[in-house]
Structure 1
């Protein structure tokens, strides 16, 4: 059984990512940070045996907020047992969470069939509302996850 089956997902766009995460046991919250230093934070609470995600609400951008949530989910899935984050590992870990977020939200088997062989910026913008992801994220997936 795949994780998509366990989480009740298919290969269509995810309409409510936070609901999906909460249904999987992730406690999600938002806060106004008052700056641009951090988009979100995630951590497993080992005592409670459950993950937490806190997202910054300052940016007020639907597409960015969804990417931030998927990014934090990537940290929960990929980096649960990393205890210490240092400057050497920071960039690769962030890159992994970015790639997870893009590929999780834009599954190749369905997203790629909606693109032409040589997509233009207009193609990506046209798909933005359907997939709930920025054109930049879609371009990244099209270039790197195939």
Structure 2
């Protein structure tokens, strides 16, 4: 059974509940079909959006000023029953969910911390942390300890 229904009369594909159960099947189908499609997620509060696959199409979409991350963030907050901007704004209103000029301002604040050299310097610490976490796995269950990195 395909994860998506047939497109509606207006060309919008309705994403059914099976996507939540097995999202990778939907991702695979979208990737294999390629291109750009408008979708509506079925549910009590239907959400609409775009599925964009392929490098060139994604680059074009990310550069298109008609598309907004802020709008998607606000729509998600309303869908989830959260106050506009999410819980204190912390989970939905951050740099990755922002459009310029807010995104540009926030990116300037952090860009020096993410140079290739600085990220490479973090590699041994990250590898040690991941190794410790994997070693802590016990029969498929992780022992969780609150500890700063």
TM-score range, shorter chain: under 0.3
Larger Rg: 2
TM-score, normalised by the number of residues in structure 2: 0.24
Q: Tell me which protein shows more strand as a share of its residues.
A: 2
